[in-house]
Structure 1
Amino acid sequence: MKQMGVVISTEGNTARVSIERHSSCGNCSACKMGQEDAKVEINAVNGVKAKVGQWVTVDMEDQDVLAAAFMAYVVPLFALLAGIFIGNSIFSALGVEKFIDIYAALFGFATMAMAFLRLRMKEKNLKSNKRFLSQIIEIVDVEKMCH
């Protein structure tokens, strides 16, 4: 997934880039968790040595975007469903009959919350994983684009 943005800061071999969120991004957390603004700031590997103020093309492999979306959406959903089924089994085995569906749903939500917390705890490791980092692939000559 390629996008254009402007470098707003650099540090070592990474750069902070301000890009406009694509409509296809939805609420994917690969760029920034829960961000609702049209502009998003991301960290990207700066292999081309772009400087502050330069326009750049940023790329993240499509399969890595899908992997990030899978972790952000499918894992918690699976945890919710598994929690509901497991909770239902546990409460049935304990002989709970009244409000068993509510208890199972609460158990499912608790399981989903634990999945979100686990992902949140691993977020730092995932952010440092080059697989999930965007790459600056080129510096864009804005004057050529405008003429």
Structure 2
Amino acid sequence: MNQQGYIIEIVDNKTAKLKMQRHSACASCGKCQTLSSESKEILVEVDNSIGAKPGDHVEVNMENMNVLKATALAYAVPLIFLLVGTIVSYFMLDMIISTQGIIVELISGIIGIMLMLLSYVILKKNDSKFRDSRKFIPVITKIIE
């Protein structure tokens, strides 16, 4: 997925902040920060291994497979935790508690939500590991004249 934008800040010798237009496929995963609520412009951390400077108009690329992996981590993992937690706890509670009713469904729903929240905590805790791998951030491919 190729995008273009302007370098506005150099974070360190291999990372920069890029101002670009939000892509329609981007949605709002939360990995970038928007400049305002109405604006389609976003700030994204990018790999600056080619040495672009502030003000440079650059092209960035992120492999489609990495975009899909990042999307799966952000959306599919919490959904799986929610569904598995709710379904497994429902059947386990149904065997333990003899009365059929809303209690079993309510408790299993709460367990599913708690496991989904746990998945977000796990993802947030590992966020620095994902960032250090530099696998899920766009890479500047060229400086556009």
Q: If the length of structure 2 is used for normalisation, what is the TM-score?
A: 0.88
- Aligned residue pairs: how many? 140
The offset of 1:27, in angstroms, is 2.3
Question: Unpaired segments of 5 or more residues in structure 1?
Answer: 142-147
Q: Distance in 2 between matches of 1:84 and 1:34?
A: 34
1:132 corresponds to 2:136: yes
In the alignment, what sits opposite 2:54?
52
1:40 alignment partner AA: I
In the alignment, what sits opposite 2:14?
13
Residues 100, 33 of structure 1: alpha-carbon distance in 2 compared, 3 angstrom cutoff: farther
Residues 33, 51 of structure 1: alpha-carbon distance in 2 compared, 3 angstrom cutoff: closer
- State the secondary structure of the residue aligned to 1:132: coil
Residues 4, 45 of structure 1: alpha-carbon distance in 2 compared, 3 angstrom cutoff: same
The offset of 1:89, in angstroms, is 2.5
Q: If the length of structure 1 is used for normalisation, what is the TM-score?
A: 0.87
Question: Unpaired segments of 5 or more residues in structure 2?
Answer: none
CA RMSD of aligned residues (A): 1.9
1:65-84: per-residue Cα shift (whole Å, max 9, x none)?
00000000001000000000
Q: Distance in 2 between matches of 1:96 and 1:78?
A: 27
Q: Distance in 2 between matches of 1:96 and 1:60?
A: 53
Give yes or no for contact 1:84–1:105 (8 Å, CA) kept in 2: yes
- The partner residue of 1:95 within 67, 80, 97 is 97
- State the secondary structure of the residue aligned to 1:81: helix
Structure with the largest fraction of helix = 1
In the alignment, what sits opposite 1:23?
24
Residues 116, 96 of structure 1: alpha-carbon distance in 2 compared, 3 angstrom cutoff: farther
In the alignment, what sits opposite 2:110?
106
